[in-house]
Chains A and B, each alone.
Chain A
Amino acid sequence: MEFSIFGIGILTWLVFVPIVGMIIILMLPDKNRNAIRWTAAGATGIQVILAAVIFAIFDRSKLGINDAESFQFIEKYSWITVEAVPWVGRIEINYFLGLDGLSVLMVILTSLIALIGVISSWNIQKMVKGYFALYLLLVTGMMGVFVALDFFLFFIFWEVMLLPMYFLIGLWGGPRREYAAIKFFLYTFVGGILMLLTMLALYFSVAYTDPATGQSVHTFNILHMMNPANYVEGGLLAGVDTTWRYVAWMALFINFAIKIPLFPFHTWLPDAHVEAPTPISVILAGILLKLGTYGLLRINFPIFPDATIYFIYFMAVLAMISIIYGALCAMAQDDFKKLIAYSSISHMGIVVLGIAALNTQGMVGGVLQMFNHGIITAVLFLAVGVLYDRTKKRGLYDFGGIANQMPKYTGLAMIGMFAALGLPGLNGFVSELFSFLGAFEAYKWITIISVTGIIITAAYILWTIQRVFLGKTPEKMSDLSDLTLREYLAFVPLIILIVLLGVYPAPAIELMNASLSHLVEFMNSGG
């Protein structure tokens, strides 16, 4: 599939439009806040349009995963190539972007959430210019990760997200923002180092034979890494089921588990969420966490099928613990944001459980859950943000009777909460269903225990609704205004998606079905 604008591929536009926006913003005067905001909105808006184009023309039947030919919107340019020198061979790093069924949904999610993040950032007053510049940089990083097919590029985009996030939490966050920011930074940085080392080990273990010249070329190309034939004889990660492959898998896994976050690598998340400003929480929960599971599927699984299968049970158990543990922790919280943060841990656990099933239902469920959870938590954080803007409070016990004050807001927020609770008819249910169905096939008891998580989820969500929306209105909250137009703009698209995908998920599923089936097949044939 070729699609380009001015001779530049659509994915490049998608990734770098925010950077262009950032540069424009940096050139705008500080005072002109509206121009800055509109530039950011414009950049992310263009992304949404591009994503819509992609959604429209994406070929649902192509497989992707390990087959370079069947990726779509491919852009591949030589980035850094150094000719052969003795002992080393040729060095090659490519600018290699492409989409398959695994990433297309994430790209759509990212563009959407990014735009909604901008909308909900409208009332940020402090250092507007810096805020939006960093925000757009962050968006580029996230988008880049989802479309990169070269490990090096992947890594660059991955790490590009670090600093903007650090500043966005650290400068615009709550009282303990500094702690939260450094904690986030530290955790992810540790993961990054692990990934870097694994990436290097892979690089030196993989060399494909360039058909044109017959040279042996070391490459960061993720697709080449999936082919066992490309492993250099005697390379560190060559072979099947070797200790080093397990170690490498584990290193990558820890990196991604931190991002997901999976128990016990999760403690950065509640802090980061609590302190981050609303739009950043939206981005964090809506997109950033998905990078972890996406990374597992894009890198861990197909590159190390042997190690994945070796550790799969371990993964499923961690997922189970995350589901239960996250839900229990959520129940203990009396800070609204923290509650949602822990619920994210629980829900992302479902994703991991789904993909750990290594069958199509589970995979589809997992990836769909990534998308759905992105939308649902975005709604939930927006909901908290609306209340916080009006009352400067986040404690669950501070509220009550909001339903009387802000009925429309309550309606929308409750749809989000019910979706989080896994109510059928809303999107959360569909993906949880498939995840559990897939997982049940693979791990009977783990799944059964995990499913108890949905009871706990129901409990904490309902209590939250009760405390916040129901009951009598406290005196001090008697003059809250309902949603403004801008807030509607942020809420409504997400709510529509929640309902739409809950009722009829096929449009989302068919995007990824072929690719994920192929991935499952690939995994089960041992690579």
Chain B
Amino acid sequence: MFTQIPLTILLLPLLGFILLIFFGKKLPRQGDWLASGLMLLALIFSLVLLITKLTSYPGETISTSFEWAVVGEQTISFGIMIDNLAAIMLVVVTLVSTLVHYFSMGYMKEDVRYSRYFAYLGFFSFSMLGIVLTNNILLMYIFWELVGVSSYLLIGHWYEKKSASNAANKAFIVNRIGDFGMFIGIMILFFSFSTFAFESIFDSIAAGQLPFGSTGWLTAAGVLIFCGAIGKSAQFPLHVWLPDAMEGPTPVSALIHAATMVAAGVYLVARVFPMLTADALLIIAYIGAITALIAATIAITQFDIKKVLAYSTISQLGYMIMALGVGAYTAGFMHLVTHAAFKAGLFLGAGSVIFAMHKVLHDMHDHHTDAQDIRNMGGLKSKMPVTYWTFLIFTLAISGIPLTSGFLSKDEILAGTLAFSTLNGHWLLPLIGFLVAGLTAFYMFRLLILTFHGRPSDEKRISAIQESPYVMTIPLVVLAALSLFVFYSFNPFGASSGWFYAAMERPLSIVPEMLQPASGAVFYEAVSSVHTPAMILSILIALGGIFIALAVYHWKKISAEDLSRKAGVLYSGSANKWYFDDFYNKVFVGGLFLVNKSMKWFDDNIIDGIVNGSAVVTQGFSAISGWIDDNIVDGLVNATATTADRAGGLLSKIQTGKVQTYLVYIFFSVLVLFVLFI
């Protein structure tokens, strides 16, 4: 059972993909039922698997593998591994995926590439499940990239839009940069341990083997592998792709760019958690913290509904990473799960709104108004009740208000950071954690208020808004239900007593002792001692954030304009996403210009290279190397040829046609030869 079911789960979406890509257009309804049905089946299997796992084999890790290739003496095996982490993740993925499938049936109804869309969804699900199920870091890397490519395809689904294809490229390339690090990490591991399987790697490390015999390299390997997570989970400094990825269809954003794929980075860190040294974990924690802060500060000033959610996603991902970094393993992973539900819900809710707005704008033949800009909304509460109420639940959950799932996980994370600072003195981490909690509450309520409350921005438009069809609202309801505490722990104020905590024990660190972080026991003791103050603080801060949001946007006690004016630099920095994109563009394009100016003298064609905006410092180099190719390498060859030709010309001039001249040459050469040889 434990070998067939996971494989079935894995292959069902792939089957859907293959059937749809080849026969999609010929099937009735372009095969959406097929994809969704297969996904639902996968969900059912996953649930069965999870329950069986937790009830019958709670502490075991079950894995199987088969031989993939034999190189030299080494056998490279691929296989699947089911532990509690994987089983839970499996349900998360299949669940969100199924819901998104159904949602999409409504949302994407009119799309020209409807079957292609579902095919890609299936392909994504397959790849994502692959990441979850694999027992092997190489196979994980393989699926990692496949997830990347399906994300690329889905972001670029509306590829007629230049912005969409740009965003797709950006997502893929930025991810590749992260993967580059991960790849090197994998190479280090393979070089050291001659295997890709997680278990064998861990066994070797536990046995005291170190890459290149140095502890530094072990840390480096961990950090390099974490690079993959930086890319995929949009952590600082590679977070820039995720907001752009919102060019894709909104359900895709919900599935890929909120719930599952971006969480894969967190999953990866959780997977390799035992081999991370204390140093590596500290780096991870700070990266997470910085990401959380930066994204949260950006989110407060955005007006695009999806952008706000995107930055919020980044921020929450930062939370999770930070949690893992400080050692709050269970809390971090739990936040992944809870976040998957409420953030998917938020995106789908936003999708519902956008869908409605779009329809109205389309009916009004208004092509200028941005359907995603919250300033064009307002007062939707009555028009879209289901969407509104579910959205409210999600918002409460993300803000960390008690009785929601979000409260459970976020509270544990904050407690974890606090505990970490008490152990290690890194007080910055809890500070950021609490600050971000407040900011989250603020910007989420800002979003909620501007969208659903208040006066409609345009009566005529808003009055035409209609609630979305059931196929879209039902997933919202399901997700809203899942955002309540009860699914995770029966105690609304303590997650640690729930089944989740029982199932997800923090694994033991297997790195050499001197490199180990504070052990689980020590850490949990510290956590329990700071738990109550942390909980109270977090509730207060969340409420504070909500209060300010209400004050500014609902009661209008404080003018948002005033506030932004007073914040000055801070406001503009936030509104401009802290200039990350501009910085990347400026540095690279500026660098390119500098190179270019000096080279223009040689070659005008290089200007072509500038056209592509984003990551183009490379193009500067490429222009240089192109020039080298044309002028130096070829030039040498051509120069030789020219010299030969010139010499030929010179020699044929000697041939004057006058026989006596020839005779002079002869005797002269004879004399020369005589002198030379005698």
Direct chain A–B contact by Cβ atoms under 8 Å: yes
Give residues in A with beta carbon < 8 Å to B: 186, 264, 266-267, 270, 325, 327-334, 359-361, 364, 401, 403-404, 411, 418, 423-425, 429-430, 433-434, 436-437, 440-441, 447-448, 451-452, 454-456, 458-459, 462-463, 466, 469-472, 504-506, 509-510, 513, 516-517, 520
Q: Which residues of A contact B21 (CB under 8 A)?
A: 411
Contact: B609 with A448, CB < 8 Å? no
Assess A510 versus B176: contact at CB under 8 Å? Given A331-B622, A437-B187: no
- Expressed in whole angstroms, the Cα–Cα distance for A463 and B69 within the complex equals 33
Q: Kindly provide the distance from the CB of A19 to the nearest chain B CB, expressed in whole angstroms.
A: 33
The CA of A520 and the CA of B72, in the complex, are separated in Å by 9
Does B615 reach chain A (CB closer than 8 Å)?
Answer: yes
Could you give, for residues 137-164 of chain B, a 1 whenever the CB lies within 8 Å of some chain A CB and a 0 otherwise?
0100111111001001000100110100
A423–B149 touching, CB < 8 Å = yes
Partner-contacting stretch, out of B165-173, B458-466, B470-478? B165-173
Give chain A residues whose Cβ lies under 8 Å from the Cβ of B180. Answer: 451-452, 454-455
Q: Which residues of A sit under 8 angstroms from B608, Cβ to Cβ?
A: 332, 334
Docked pose: A459 CA to B175 CA in angstroms: 11
Cross-chain contact A506 with B67 (CB below 8 angstroms): yes
Q: Nearest Cβ in chain B — how far from A207, in angstroms?
A: 34
Report if A470-B156 is in contact (Cβ < 8 Å); known contacts: A331-B618, A364-B71, A509-B70: yes
Which 7 pairs show the lowest CB-CB distances between chains A and B? Answer: A360-B72, A424-B142, A328-B622, A470-B159, A332-B622, A440-B187, A331-B622
Contacts of A455 in B (CB 8 A): 173, 176-177, 180
B591 within 8 A of A: no
Residue pair B618, A459 in contact (C-beta under 8 Å): yes
- A484 CB to nearest B CB, Å: 19
Stretch from B96-104, B513-521, B626-634 that touches the partner: B626-634
**Are B138 and A328 within 8 A (Cβ)?**
no
Question: If A332-B619, A334-B608, A424-B146 touch, does A264 touch B633 (CB 8 Å cutoff)?
Answer: yes
Contact: A471 with B159, CB < 8 Å? yes
Besides A329-B622, A403-B159, A458-B172, 6 new A-B residue pairs in contact (Cβ under 8 A), listed by A number: A266-B633, A328-B621, A329-B626, A360-B71, A454-B180, A466-B165
In the complex, chain B residues whose CB is within 8 Å of the CB of A456: 618
| Contact among B146, B172, B623, B625 with A462 in the assembled complex (CB-CB below 8 Å) | B172
By a CB distance below 8 angstroms, the chain A residues around B156 are: 470
Q: Given that A329-B625, A520-B72 are known contacts, is A471 also in contact with B191, CB under 8 Å in the complex?
A: no
Shortest beta-carbon distance, B165 to chain A, in Å? 4
Residues of A within 8 A of B71 (CB): 360-361, 364, 434, 509, 513
Q: How far is the CB of B348 from chain A (nearest CB, A)?
A: 27
Given contact pairs A424-B141, A517-B72, A448 touches B184 in the complex (Cβ within 8 A):
yes
Contacts of A331 in B (CB 8 A): 609, 618-619, 622
The answer to whether B149 touches A418 (Cβ under 8 A) is yes
A462 near B169 (CB under 8 angstroms)? yes
Q: Are A466 and B166 in contact (CB under 8 A)?
A: yes
B625 near A463: Cβ-Cβ < 8 Å:
no
Chain B contributes a number of interface residues (CB within 8 A of A) equal to: 53
B73 within 8 A of A: yes
Check B62 for interface membership: any CB of A closer than 8 A.
no
Confirm or deny: B612 has a beta carbon within 8 angstroms of a beta carbon on chain A: yes
Most B C-beta atoms less than 10 A away, residue of A330, A429, A459, A513: A459
Residues of the B chain whose Cβ atoms lie less than 8 Å from the Cβ of A327? 622
Identify A425's interface contact among B142, B183, B184, CB under 8 A: B142
Which of B72, B622, B634 touches A359 (beta carbons < 8 Å)? Answer: B72
Interface membership of B667, Cβ < 8 A: no
Question: Given A455-B176, A509-B71, A429 and B629 touching (CB < 8 A)?
Answer: no
CB neighbours (8 Å) of B70 from chain A are 506, 509-510, 513
| Closest Cβ neighbor of B636 among chain A residues | A264
Known: A325-B625, A424-B141, A509-B70. A472 touches B637 (CB 8 A): no
- Residues of chain B whose beta carbon lies under 8 Å from any beta carbon of chain A: 21, 67-74, 138, 141-146, 149, 152, 156, 159-160, 162, 165-166, 168-169, 172-173, 176-177, 180, 183-184, 187-188, 190-191, 606, 608-609, 612, 615, 618-619, 621-623, 625-626, 629, 633-634, 637
A505 to chain B: which residues have CB within 8 Å?
68-69
Give chain B nearest CB distance to A32 CB in angstroms.
39
Chain A residue contacts of B177, Cβ below 8 A: 455
Whole-angstrom distance between the Cβ of B134 and the nearest chain A Cβ: 12
Contact B622 A471 (CB under 8 A): no
Complex-state Cα separation, A436 to B183, whole angstroms? 10
CB distance from B564 to the nearest CB of A (A): 36
B633–A504 touching, CB < 8 Å: no
The answer to whether B73 and A440 have CB atoms under 8 Å apart is: no
Measured between beta carbons, the chain A residues less than 8 angstroms from B609 are 331-332
**Cβ of A504: which chain B residues have Cβ within 8 Å of it?**
68
What chain A residues lie within 8 Å of B619 (beta carbons)? 331-332
- Give A333 to B67 CA distance when docked, in angstroms: 42
Chain B proximity of A158: nearest CB distance (Å): 21
Give the distance in Å from the alpha carbon of A334 to the alpha carbon of B608 in the complex.
Answer: 8
24 pairs from A and B in contact (CB 8 Å cutoff): A266-B629, A266-B633, A267-B634, A267-B637, A270-B629, A327-B622, A331-B618, A360-B73, A361-B71, A411-B21, A418-B149, A424-B146, A425-B146, A440-B187, A454-B180, A456-B618, A462-B152, A466-B165, A466-B169, A471-B159, A471-B160, A504-B68, A509-B71, A513-B70
Q: How far is the CA of A425 from the CA of B89 in the complex (A)?
A: 23
Q: Using Cβ atoms and an 8 Å threshold, which residues of chain B touch A270?
A: 629
Decide yes or no: A458 and B176 within 8 Å by CB, A332-B623, A423-B149 being known contacts.
yes
Which B residue's beta carbon lies closest to that of A442?
B191
Q: Are B187 and A436 in contact (CB under 8 A)?
A: yes
B625 CB contact (under 8 Å) in A328, A360, A447, A452: A328
Complex CA gap A329/B623 in Å reads 7
Distance A507 CA – B169 CA, assembled complex (angstroms):
34
CB distance from B20 to the nearest CB of A (A): 13
Give complex CA distance A131, B547 in Å.
Answer: 81
Docked complex Cα distance between A375 and B176 (Å): 24
Scoring A186, A327, A437 by chain B CB atoms within 10 A of each residue's CB, the highest score goes to: A437
Decide if A267 touches B629 in the complex (CB within 8 Å).
yes
Q: Are A463 and B176 in contact (CB under 8 A)?
A: no
Looking at the assembled complex, report how far the CB atom of B228 sits from the nearest CB atom of chain A, in whole angstroms. 13
Q: In the complex the two chains form, what is the Cα distance from A417 to B162 in whole Å?
A: 20
Residues in chain B near residue A452, CB distance under 8 A: 180
CA distance A329 to B429 in the complex (A): 45
CB distance A459 to B633 under 8 Å?
Answer: no
Q: Which residue of A lies closest to B144 (CB)?
A: A424
| Alpha-carbon gap, A308 to B72, bound state (A) | 21
Hey, which chain B residues are within 8 Å of A334, CB to CB?
608
**B72 with A513: CB separation less than 8 A:** yes
- List chain B residues, Cβ under 8 A from A329: 622, 625-626, 629
> B223 → chain A, closest Cβ, in Å?
14
- Tell me which of A330, A423, A517 has the highest count of chain B C-beta atoms within 10 A of its own C-beta: A423
CB-CB under 8 A from B618, the residues of chain A are 328, 331, 456, 459
Roughly how many angstroms separate A437 CA and B192 CA in the complex, as a whole number?
Answer: 11
Please determine whether A471 and B162 come into contact, CB atoms closer than 8 angstroms.
yes
Separation of A252 and B68 alpha carbons in the complex (Å): 36
Residues of A within 8 A of B67 (CB): 506
For B625, what are the chain A residues with a Cβ–Cβ distance below 8 Å? 325, 328-329, 332
Given the complex of chains A and B, what is the CA–CA distance between A70 and B289 in angstroms? 62
A433 to B76, CA, bound (A): 12
Q: Residue of A at shortest CB range from B635? A: A267
CA distance A455 to B191 in the complex (A): 22
How many Å from the CB of B501 to the closest CB on chain A?
35
Distance in angstroms from B637 CB to nearest chain A CB is 7
Is the beta-carbon distance between A437 and B72 smaller than 8 angstroms?
no
Interface-central residue, B71, B74, B184, B187, by most chain A CB under 10 Å:
B71
Question: In the complex, which residues of chain B have a beta carbon less than 8 angstroms from the beta carbon of A433?
Answer: 138
Nearest chain B residue, comparing its CB with the CB of A512 = B71
Inside 8 A of A469's CB, which chain B residues have their CB? 159
- Determine the chain A residues whose CB is within 8 A of the CB of B184 once the complex forms: 440, 448, 451
